[in-house]
C-alpha cells in the first residue's frame, strides 16, 4: 500500500502543470441569527459544484468544519484588526498562529483577505498605509513558515477605488488612492496574489434604470457598448473588470501585472418597495449566468484568454445585516436552508441525485453517518484525471471492469465519471484517509452516495 501511494505521488508529481481549473466560489457571510451550523454548511456544499468559500473572519467553527472537505477557504482579517497587524510582524504572527495555524493543513486555506473594502470604508478611522503594512507583515510571516506559496495575501476592493469606470480603457484609480494602490499592486505582483474587486452591476442598474440596459446589467448578451479603444462590451461585469485592469495597468507596472479576481458579485432577490431590479427572477438570471461564467475559461474583451475567478455573493440571506432591504437579500439560500430561487448548483458526480436539490432537502440525505466517498472535483483538469485513471486502474490496483464497455458504470462514457469511479475505489481500498482522495488536488470527499442506476460506488 505504501509503495502504491508513493508511486501515485511520483506519477502525479511529474504531470504538466495545471491549466485553468475553473471552479465556483461563494461568499459565506454569517450576519444572521437563523443560519445552519458551519458543519452542516460544509457537508452540504460538498454535494454542490462550489469548491471555494470565502468568509469574513477566522471563525474557528467554520475553519474546523471545512477540514478535509476538499473545499478551499479564504479567510479574512476584519477591518478593525488591520491596524493591529500593521504594527509589526510579531502582531501578524500572533494573529496567524492563533487564528489560522491550528487548522492547517487539514483545512485548505489558500488566501487571506486583509480587510474588506478597507480603502473606501470609514476613512476617519482606517489608515491606508496600515493596510499595505499589514499585508506585508502577514506575507513575511507566511514566508518564515514556508507557507507563502500555498497562502496568498490580498485585499478586496470596492469599485469606488476607481475615479471613473467608463470607458473601461480610460479608467484610473482615484487620485488620492494612487500611492497606496501603487504599493498594493506592487505587492500583489511580487507575491503572485490576485487583485480582488467586489463588482455589482445591480447597484449601477438600480440607480440608473432609465439609462442602463437591464440585459447589460444582468450579465446577458446585450447590444455592444463600444470603448474608444475598440473593445466591445456585451455586459457590465466585463466592463467593470476591464476598468480595474486599465487602472492597474495605468499605474505603470507594464507587463508585470496581476490577475483580477471578482471577490464578490451577486444580485438581490428583494429590495426596497419600488426597486424593480431586485426580484427573484433577476437574481436567478444573474447568478445562473455568473455561475456559468465562473466555470468557463472566458476572459474579458481586454484579456480574452485570462479566465476570471469568481465568488458569488452570497450563500445565505443574512437577516441581521444593516443597510437597505437588498443587503439582507443577496442570498441563494434562506437561513433555514431552502433555496430563495432555483439556482442549479448540482454536481452530478458529487451527489447521488444529480438533481437541483436545495439545502433543506440535502440536509436529510446528508446526515447519513460516516458514509463517505471520493469523487473527481467538478472542473478538475482532464490531463490529471486521465493520469489518475491510468494509475488507479493500473499500478493502483483498482478493479476497473465496471467502467469498461458493458460495465455498469461505463455510461456516461466521460473521463470525469470514470475517474470518479476509480478514485473512489482507490480511496476505499486505502482506508479512506483524506490524503488518499487528493489526487493532486482533483479529488473531493463527499457525504452523498454518487451511485446511480445500476452503477454502485463501493463503500469500505
Ligand X SMILES: *[C@@H]1O[C@H](CO)[C@@H](O)[C@H](O)[C@H]1NC(C)=O
Closest approach of Cβ 279 to ligand X, in Å? Answer: 23
Q: If 0-12 CB within 10 Å is exposed, 13-18 middle and 19+ buried, where does residue 166 land?
A: middle
Closest to ligand X by CB, 77 or 400: 77
Closest to ligand X by CB, 88 or 207: 88
- The Cα 333–Cα 73 span in angstroms is 19
221: CB partners within 8 A, 6+ apart:
215, 234, 235
Closest approach of Cβ 255 to ligand X, in Å? Answer: 4
Peptide bond into 167 cis (omega under 30): yes
| CA distances, 154 to each of 72, 74, 363, 429 (Å) | 16, 10, 34, 40
Copy the grid coordinates of residue 142.
Answer: 507566511
Contact 278, 206 (CB under 8 A): yes
Contact 172, 250 (CB under 8 A): yes
Element at 140 (helix H, strand E)? helix 128-144
Active site annotation includes 264: yes
**Choosing from 117, 309, 318, 402, which is the catalytic residue?**
117
Closest to ligand X by CB, 180 or 219: 219
Closest approach of Cβ 24 to ligand X, in Å? Answer: 19
Closest to ligand X by CB, 136 or 420: 136
Active site annotation includes 117: yes
Closest approach of Cβ 200 to ligand X, in Å? Answer: 22
**Choosing from 64, 94, 215, 264, which is the catalytic residue?**
264
Residues that bind ligand X (CB under 6 A): 84, 87, 91, 94, 221, 254-255
Contact 170, 228 (CB under 8 A): yes
Copy the grid coordinates of residue 93.
Answer: 504572527
Closest to ligand X by CB, 84 or 279: 84
Nearest to 96 by CA among 31, 19, 396, 88: 88
Q: Which residues are catalytic?
A: 117, 264
Amino acid at each position: 500500500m505504501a509503495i502504491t501511494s508513493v508511486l501515485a505521488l511520483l506519477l502525479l508529481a511529474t504531470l504538466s502543470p495545471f491549466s485553468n481549473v475553473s471552479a465556483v466560489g461563494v461568499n459565506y457571510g454569517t450576519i444572521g441569527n437563523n443560519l445552519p451550523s458551519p458543519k452542516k454548511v460544509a457537508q452540504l456544499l460538498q454535494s454542490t459544484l462550489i469548491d471555494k468559500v470565502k468568509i469574513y473572519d477566522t471563525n474557528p467553527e467554520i475553519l474546523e468544519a471545512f477540514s478535509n472537505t476538499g473545499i478551499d477557504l479564504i479567510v479574512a482579517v476584519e477591518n478593525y484588526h488591520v491596524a493591529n497587524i500593521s504594527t509589526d510582524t510579531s502582531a501578524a504572527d500572533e494573529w496567524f498562529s492563533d487564528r489560522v495555524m491550528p487548522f492547517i493543513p487539514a483545512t485548505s486555506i489558500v488566501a487571506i483577505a486583509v480587510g474588506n473594502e478597507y480603502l473606501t470604508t470609514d476613512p476617519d478611522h482606517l489608515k491606508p498605509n496600515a493596510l499595505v503594512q499589514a499585508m506585508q507583515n502577514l506575507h513575511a510571516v507566511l514566508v518564515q513558515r514556508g507557507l507563502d506559496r500555498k497562502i496568498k495575501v490580498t485585499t478586496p476592493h470596492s469599485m469606488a477605488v476607481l475615479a471613473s469606470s467608463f470607458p473601461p480603457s480610460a479608467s484610473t484609480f482615484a487620485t488620492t488612492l494612487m500611492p497606496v494602490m501603487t504599493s498594493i499592486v506592487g505587492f500583489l505582483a511580487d507575491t503572485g496574489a490576485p487583485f480582488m474587486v467586489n463588482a455589482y452591476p445591480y447597484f449601477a442598474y438600480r440607480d440608473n434604470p432609465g439609462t442602463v440596459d437591464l440585459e447589460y446589467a444582468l450579465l446577458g448578451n446585450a447590444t455592444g457598448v463600444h470603448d474608444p479603444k475598440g473593445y466591445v462590451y456585451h455586459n457590465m461585469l466585463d466592463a467593470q473588470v476591464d476598468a480595474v485592469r486599465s487602472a492597474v495597468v495605468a499605474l505603470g507596472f507594464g507587463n508585470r501585472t496581476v490577475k483580477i479576481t471578482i471577490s464578490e458579485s451577486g444580485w438581490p432577490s428583494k429590495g426596497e418597495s419600488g426597486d424593480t431590479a431586485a426580484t427573484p427572477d433577476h437574481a436567478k438570471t444573474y447568478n445562473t449566468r455568473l455561475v456559468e461564467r465562473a466555470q468557463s475559461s472566458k476572459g474579458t474583451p481586454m484579456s480574452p484568454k485570462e479566465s476570471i475567478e469568481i465568488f458569488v455573493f452570497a450563500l445565505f440571506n443574512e437577516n441581521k445585516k444593516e443597510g437597505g432591504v437588498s443587503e439582507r437579500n443577496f442570498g441563494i439560500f434562506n437561513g433555514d436552508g431552502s433555496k430563495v430561487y432555483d439556482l442549479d448548483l448540482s454536481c452530478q458526480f458529487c451527489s447521488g441525485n444529480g438533481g437541483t436539490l436545495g439545502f433543506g432537502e440535502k440536509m436529510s440525505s446528508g446526515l447519513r453517518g460516516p458514509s463517505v466517498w471520493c469523487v473527481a472535483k467538478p472542473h478538475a483538469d482532464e490531463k490529471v484525471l486521465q493520469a489518475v485513471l491510468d494509475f488507479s486502474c493500473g499500478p493502483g490496483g483498482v478493479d476497473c471492469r465496471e467502467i469498461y464497455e458493458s460495465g455498469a458504470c461505463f455510461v456516461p462514457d466521460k473521463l470525469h465519471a470514470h475517474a470518479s469511479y476509480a478514485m473512489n475505489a482507490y480511496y476505499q481500498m486505502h482506508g479512506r484517509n483524506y490524503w488518499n482522495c487528493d489526487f493532486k488536488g482533483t479529488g473531493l470527499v463527499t457525504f452523498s452516495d454518487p451511485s446511480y442506476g445500476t452503477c454502485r460506488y463501493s463503500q469500505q
